[in-house]
Amino acid sequence: MKRVITFGTFDIFHVGHINILERAKALGDYLIVGVSSDALNMSKKGRNPVYSEADRVKIISSLRCVDEVFIEHSLELKGEYITTHKADLLVMGDDWAGRFDEFKSLCDVQYLTRTPSISTTEIIEVVRNPLSQ
Ligand code: CTP
């Protein structure tokens, strides 16, 4: 049984998120998702997520392609999360290309092409300023 792990904030869930999760699952048998905590998102992206970590975990847990969800509290713990969850493969979007190569000693690492033209940041912009479209 091949275990796949991926990480992300998954705020304002959109089609780019489901695309990467379905593709990650298709690369193995069991998909584990680390959802960034509110505090981690603040430190990574400089803003509070629109949806709370509890709501983001609930949404991700409800997906057919997802088998297990946990909250990622720190970027520094990535190696430990990979080991604890016995992951065989780490999947990330290619906005992170090369940045997780250090974990190749723990598991395979694969970067998948992002879905074009959609991101949480863009959705927030459009909702905030609809005339900019
Ligand atoms: N992702 C993707 N295609 C998109 C947007 C996101 O494949 N169009 C992937 C990212 O590469 C990552 C995962 O979805 O592996 C979670 O990304 P996240 O940062 O939560 O979503 P973004 O929409 O990129 O958020 P933001 O705009 O806040 O950076």
pLDDT at 26: 98
DSSP class per residue in 30-54: EEEEEEEPHHHHHHHHSS--SS-HH
From the CA of 119, how far away is ligand 1's center (Å)?
6
Verdict on whether the full-model pTM lies above 0.85: yes
Tell me how many degrees the CA angle 114-10-83 measures, rounded to the nearest 5. Answer: 90
What is the rounded average pLDDT for all residues in the chain? Answer: 96
pLDDT, residue 99, reads 95
| Atom 9 (ligand 1) nearest CA | 93
Task: Tell which residue, 30, 15, 46, 44, has the closest CA to residue 91.
Answer: 30
Query: Which of ligand 1's atoms lies nearest the C-alpha of 116?
Result: 8
- The residues lining ligand 1, judged by C-beta closer than 6 Å to any ligand atom, are 8-10, 16-17, 20, 45, 92-93, 95, 114-115, 118-121
Q: Indicate whether 133 pLDDT > 70.
A: no
Select from 117, 73, 115, 72 the least CA-distant residue to 90: 72
pLDDT at 130: 83
Distance 94 CA to ligand 1 centre (A): 9
pLDDT digit string (tens) for 42-90? 998 899 999 999 999 999 999 999 999 999 999 999 999 999 999 999 9
Q: What is the pLDDT of residues 78-122, one digit of tens each?
A: 999 999 999 999 999 999 999 999 999 999 999 999 999 999 999
Confidence of residue 132 (pLDDT cuts 50, 70, 90): confident
- CATH architecture of the domain 3-132 equals 3-Layer(aba) Sandwich (3.40)
